Structure 1
Amino acid sequence: MSAATGTNAPAGTRAPSGGPVRHRDGRGERAVTVSSHTVLTVWSVLVIAPLLWTLMSSFKTTQQIFASPFSLPTSLQWENYVNAWTLAGIGTYFVNSVVVVAAALFLTMLLGAMSAYVLARFDFPGREVVRTLIVSGLTFPIFLAVVPLFFILQQAGLLNTLPGLVAAYTAYAYPFTVFFLVSFFEELPREVAEAAAIDGASEWRTFFQIMLPMARPGMASVVILNFVGLWNQFLLPVVLNTDQENYVLTQGMASFASQAGYSVDFGALFAGAVTTIVPVLVVYLVFQRRLQGSVVQGSVK
């Protein structure tokens, strides 16, 4: 009788192994999968379409852009990149940006990693106070700091100079770097540092030769995030760097776009925009494996 009941029962109504629950879970998983893929597809289109349109427009003349902004270029106008690089001065601004961002990124990662390691590994009086003060820097709006930074750099003789901009960029990215890396260093095994101390390694050698290489995934993540933030920084250089010879790329692009109104060479302008985008893509492609490794390592821990 029970066998007959189990055989004749309608599918999905009553199953000893929880069939209806699996059926509902299956429909829920499919709904989540479809909705998530839909959102990701729409988001990808919103991100990729403007990039492709910018790249396409960089090979067109100004007349072609106004006549048919969404059509393919009839011929590749490579002179747009030449004009942007030479006539508009994008080449000089690009070199200034590379120098400033590279120097600031190096100092930020070095000082931030050392500070994060000390806060994560050593107990000393006032440790939590120092950590709280550093993290509180993340809550301080940058536009409130530009006036004090202006007078500090002016008194130090670094206003309107690339070294002064490097110092400002380093101070800007330092709190986030420490905040991110402290938790990462706290998760690294202490036994490795203790073994190095037993073998006679100094604290400096333990940090630079053992602990820092172990933190490469987290360092790569911070490098990508800091590079994007510093490369696209506009407010700090506008206030602290008014000498046109020392303009960075964001300032140069803004000056180029506004210098001639509607008579600007839009083909060269789009070529300059592509020039600003390429370094970000290159840095991401170089460090993406490390970034993925950081996520995987964090999830395992």
Structure 2
Amino acid sequence: MTTSQVARAAVLPRAGRTRRSVPTGERVVGGVSQAVLIVCAVVVVLPFLWTIMSSFKTTNQVLNSPFSLPDRLHLENYANAWTQAGIGQFFANTLVVVGGALVLTMVMGSMCAYFLARFRFFGNRAVYLLMVAGLTFPIFLAIVPLFFILKGLGLLGTLPGLAITYSAFALPFTVFFMVPFFRALPASVTEAASLDGAGEWRTFFQVMVPMARPAIATLSILNFVGLWNQFLLPVALNPDQRKYVLTQGMAAFAGTAGYSIDFGALFAAVVMTIVPVLIVYLVFQRALSGSVVIGADK
């Protein structure tokens, strides 16, 4: 075969290829989906950027020219929000409550879901359905009973009492999400761990929990956001102003000052409230992506 014949043989298959035609319906659906995503992104991102920009303005600039850039970066707004408005203390209280509730929820929820998914006993289905029913129970209906329960236990108006209450309301969703995940994991893994002499506790913490890292990471993000933004429970069960969480502190800061409110400091407080949620999301998103990659490699 000559050189020209080889070149012709290499070119012919390429020339014979035809571009795949995309159906009209698929193009329309794709275009509409992209347009909807762009609109949603604009609706979410623009207010966030406007809040950040306003946090560097004075009150006069916010009221007189709300959409213009600040004349300079008024970093004192963040200092005023942290000290004068008490955001620093509220921030610390929120970290204690949400951090404690998140750890308690993930540990207890994972153990409960593993037990319901892996062990068969009388009433297993009933317990699971009761946990799922907790998702439909409105929070405001439980305020009065919770008030008297926490008061009777001496936990009313305390950070541990609020953390336990947060965890109780986040537990049903965690169990509901984790039970199908544990059921989908292969039983051969637990059997192999049992043959190697591992007990139930060791099997759960050293075998099942690492395999459940994607679900744990996802639930940690969702639970953290929900607990961080909780407002009704702390308002009803945490009356001590020294122990306010961020949602209470922000409401008090915006509502007690009237027309003399420092809008620059208020927007700075809002930014400081949002940043921890973004950090947690980025950290757990990386852990989630790493877990998925590791599981695919195995």
Q: Give the TM-score taking structure 2 as reference length.
A: 0.90
* Structure 1 stretches of 4+ moved >6 Å: 293-299
SS at match of 2:23: helix
Distance 2:139 2:289 in 1: 30
- 1:116 Cα offset (Å): 0.1
Alpha-carbon distance change, 183 to 31 in structure 1, aligned in 2, over 3 angstroms? same
SS at match of 2:96: helix
User: Which of these residues, 76, 96, 100, is aligned with residue 97 of structure 2?
Assistant: 100
- 1:26 Cα offset (Å): 1.9
**Which residue in the other structure is 1:156 paired with?**
153
SS at match of 2:68: coil
Contact 1:220–1:287 (Cα < 8 Å) also in 2: yes
User: Which of these residues, 20, 26, 31, is aligned with residue 28 of structure 2?
Assistant: 31
**Which residue in the other structure is 2:12 paired with?**
none
Matches within 5 A, 1:151-230: 151-230=148-227
- 1:298 Cα offset (Å): 11
Query: How many percent identity over aligned positions?
Result: 66
**Which residue in the other structure is 2:54 paired with?**
57
**Which residue in the other structure is 1:69 paired with?**
66
- 1:294 Cα offset (Å): 7.6
Structure 1: 5+ residue runs without aligned partners? 1-18
- 1:119 Cα offset (Å): 0.3
**Which residue in the other structure is 2:111 paired with?**
114
Structure 2: 5+ residue runs without aligned partners? 1-17
- 1:186 Cα offset (Å): 0.7
User: Which of these residues, 120, 125, 128, is aligned with residue 128 of structure 1?
Assistant: 125
**Which residue in the other structure is 1:240 paired with?**
237
Alpha-carbon distance change, 33 to 298 in structure 1, aligned in 2, over 3 angstroms? farther
RMSD, matched Cα: 1.8
Distance 1:33 1:215 in 2: 34
User: Which of these residues, 245, 260, 264, is aligned with residue 257 of structure 2?
Assistant: 260
**Which residue in the other structure is 2:275 paired with?**
278
Residue deviations 1:133-164, cap 9 Å, x none? 11100010011111111110000000000011
- 1:204 Cα offset (Å): 0.2
Q: Give the TM-score taking structure 1 as reference length.
A: 0.89
Distance 1:274 1:121 in 2: 44
- 1:288 Cα offset (Å): 1.3
Contact 1:150–1:240 (Cα < 8 Å) also in 2: yes
Contact 1:55–1:274 (Cα < 8 Å) also in 2: yes
Distance 1:167 1:220 in 2: 21
Number of residue pairs matched by the alignment = 278
AA aligned to 2:105 is: T
- 1:39 Cα offset (Å): 0.4
Contact 2:213–2:288 (Cα < 8 Å) also in 1: no
Distance 1:28 1:179 in 2: 37
Distance 1:203 1:224 in 2: 27
- 1:261 Cα offset (Å): 0.5
AA aligned to 1:72 is: L
**Which residue in the other structure is 1:84 paired with?**
81
Alpha-carbon distance change, 145 to 295 in structure 1, aligned in 2, over 3 angstroms? farther
Contact 1:218–1:294 (Cα < 8 Å) also in 2: no
